[in-house]
Amino acid sequence: MAQNPFRPTFGTSPPLLVGREAQLDAFAASLEEGPGSPGRATVYTGARGVGKTVMLNAVEDLARQFGWLIVSETATPGLVDRLIRDGLPSARSLLDGDGAKRRITGVDLPVVGGGVTFDLNEPRATPTLRGQLTALAVTAEEHGTGVLITVDEIQAAHIEELRTLATSLQHAFRENRNVAFVAAGLPAALEPILNDTVLTFLRRADRYDLATVDMADVAEAIDIPIRNAGRSITADGLEHAAQATAGYPFMIQLVGYHSYRQRPDRDTVDIDDVTKGVEAAMRRLGQLVIEPELTGLSDVDRTFLLAMAHDDGASKMADIQRRLGADVDANYASQYRLRLISAEVIVQTKRGYVDFALPAMRQYLRDHGALQAQAEHDTSTTPT
């Protein structure tokens, strides 16, 4: 029995990454273009499960193909200290892998009134992030390579450390060092960071809002891994699988995984396997993503979402207001619209219309009796 080719685990790279070629091409071009290329500071954002961490994995792989050193981190407490004491020194050790005792001296850092020269092997020296990054970049350049730093899950809770990192990176960029920086985070978590008066470096970074993947790419992402594993999928099964994902990258892996595993001893994945696989994928997505999302919302927030679940596509605010009850005015409905947009549960598609940020949430709410509950709510109570 062949190993299941799909990987429905957050942050794990899929067997075939689709729909992100333009973003990856832009980053690869920045490595080729040299210092000063705008793509050397990049931020990926988007809803949960849309593939932000996967993009960090992909740009790291690209940088490795160029022979670059990679320092990979997550924005949690102690970020700067980990970079100083572990991340940057570990990257430096790769350049000294032949056992040679390279000794860097004379790295001049501009300060008011002149420069300061330090020796990385001086035990009394107190390392700083800027000093470590500069020294690593200089050594990397001597070896004909560069340094990529990636940081996942950036958020305002760690803004002081991000300021320290951004300031150090900005100096490296100003000095035309062979350095690149790529970060990822949720849209709401990024806003206060990008609006910070100190973090102007990140505000100027290339920003990509990762969206869902089109159906042709989804079909390819399901079909090719199955064929590479020595099996095939029927045309109707592939169409059903692709449509069920709604282009959501994490759902591609869930649907592919659960469809593939229904009857792994057979050469072909058919429509029956996919139908069962989609049902299993929806349950799993509910457990991993939707239920935790709903749990963090108020009763009124959830009522708003129930009202949206009536529609097959984007919901008109006037319709939502009507479904919430006669005593709910436009201002009241608008307040909760803004709350849910801020929480990244819904998005505004155009003026007066909203839709679910996670396409599968609509079906999840329907499958769990949401519409019946909403009908009962309409005839008995009004949210307060």
Mind listing the pLDDT tens digit of every residue in the chain (384 residues)?
679 999 999 888 999 999 999 999 999 999 999 999 999 999 999 888 889 999 999 999 999 999 999 999 999 999 999 999 999 999 999 887 543 334 333 333 333 333 344 444 545 557 899 999 999 999 999 999 999 999 999 988 888 999 999 999 999 999 999 999 999 998 878 888 877 877 788 888 999 999 889 999 999 999 999 999 999 999 999 999 999 999 999 999 999 999 999 999 999 999 999 999 999 999 999 998 898 888 888 888 999 999 999 999 999 999 999 999 877 888 889 999 998 988 888 988 899 999 998 878 998 898 875 544 554 555 444 444
Residue with tokens 């200290």: 81
Domain boundary among 238, 265, 293: 293
C-alpha count within 13 angstroms, C-beta hemisphere, residue 43: 22
pTM: 0.80
Domain boundary among 209, 240, 273: 209
Same-domain status, 30 and 148: yes
CATH number of the domain encompassing residue 236: 1.10.8
- The conformation of residue 213, written as its DSSP 8-state character, comes to P
CA 288 to chain centre: 16
How far is 140 from 121, CA to CA, in rounded Å? 17
Assess if residue 331 is contained within a domain.
yes
**DSSP letters along 2-19, please?**
PPP----STTPPPSS--S
Specify the number of domains making up the chain.
3
